[in-house]
């Protein structure tokens, strides 16, 4: 038992080895002159700035503001994109009619449309939520469509042959069969929501993590800038980890869980 525990611990440490090496290089390079400490401060100074921002409460305030914006935009995309994707994926005529338009829209960068959203909605909260909604809906929508279309036709025929009603067919066959693909879209969108928001906050905002990065860069408070960037990375990892756990709980019935371990 002890040997197995040591073996598992060794595997965990090995998986983090690349991170440790990167942080060590980050700490040493500015100190030995391989990087300019003004623009790339040692990692220890960044960590110090990180905890100072936490103690002052500034970090929590900006994280909560950014999370609130991201959750609203992501939630709206989830509510709209999943039902729409199920509808488009189930009805071929609707898909053929809308696909050229959807493919055109999905290629339009969310950040390129930010000035348009600001013109329409102003520089307040609505424009930020709108840009998140636009950017994150496409992975959910397109993965939902793909999931519906890749459900095993034999399962559909078998359910129909046993007299399953359209509602039963949808609940018992279509939705479970499409869910792994839908969940992949949700994971992609959840991380994208944070990244799109940070960029939007750097362009037009007076609060949030993106604003903290921009303000620190303008004031040449470089350790604070890196500390904010580090907090974004940690936030992304936490969101992804929570979604992986949620996926494992929901999809216990599915033997192929590789889709949620990626």
- Per-residue pLDDT of the chain (262 residues), as tens digits, is 666 666 666 677 777 788 899 999 999 999 998 888 889 999 999 999 999 999 998 888 999 998 898 999 999 999 999 999 998 988 888 888 888 888 888 888 887 888 888 888 887 788 888 889 998 999 999 999 988 888 888 887 787 788 777 778 888 888 888 888 898 899 888 888 888 888 888 877 788 888 899 899 889 899 999 999 999 988 888 888 888 888 777 766 555 444 444 4
How many whole angstroms separate alpha carbon 197 and alpha carbon 133?
10
DSSP string for residues in 4-60: HHHHHHHHHHHHTHHHHHHHHHHHHHHHTTSS-TTTS--HHHHHHHHHHHHHHTHHH
CA dist 242 → 110, 119, 129, 233 (Å): 25, 36, 22, 14
pLDDT at position 259 is 42
For Cα atoms 88, 177, 257, give the angle at the middle one, nearest 5 degrees: 130
Helix 209-218, helix 222-250: angle, nearest 10: 160
How many whole angstroms separate alpha carbon 199 and alpha carbon 193?
10
pLDDT at position 77 is 92
- In the chain, CATH 1.10.3720.10 sits at 41-261
How many whole angstroms separate alpha carbon 230 and alpha carbon 240?
15
pLDDT at position 197 is 83
- The CATH code for residues 41-261 is 1.10.3720.10
């Amino acid at each position: 038992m002890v040997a197995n525990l040591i073996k598992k611990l060794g595997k965990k440490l090995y998986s983090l080895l690349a991170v440790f090496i990167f942080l060590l290089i980050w700490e040493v390079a500015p100190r030995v002159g391989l990087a300019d400490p003004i623009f790339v401060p040692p990692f220890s100074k960044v960590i110090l700035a990180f905890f100072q921002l936490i103690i002052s409460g500034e970090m929590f305030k900006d994280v909560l503001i950014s999370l609130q914006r991201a959750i609203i935009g992501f939630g709206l995309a989830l509510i709209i994109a999943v039902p729409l994707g199920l509808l488009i994926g189930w009805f071929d005529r609707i898909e053929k009619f809308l696909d050229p338009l959807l493919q055109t829209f999905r290629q339009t960068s969310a950040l390129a449309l930010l000035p348009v959203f600001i013109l329409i909605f102003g520089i307040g909260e609505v424009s930020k939520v709108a840009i998140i909604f636009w950017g994150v809906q496409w992975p959910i929508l397109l993965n939902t469509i793909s999931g519906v279309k890749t459900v095993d036709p034999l399962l559909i025929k078998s359910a129909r042959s046993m007299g399953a009603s359209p509602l039963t067919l949808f609940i018992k066959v279509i939705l479970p069969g499409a869910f792994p693909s839908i969940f992949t879209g949700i994971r992609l969108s959840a991380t994208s929501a944070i990244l799109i928001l940070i960029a939007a906050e750097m362009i037009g905002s007076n609060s949030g993590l993106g604003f903290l990065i921009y303000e620190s860069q303008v004031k040449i408070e470089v350790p604070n800038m890196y500390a904010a960037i580090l907090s974004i990375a940690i936030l992304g990892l936490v969101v992804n980890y929570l979604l992986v756990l949620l996926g494992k709980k929901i999809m216990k019935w599915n033997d192929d869980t590789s889709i949620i371990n990626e």
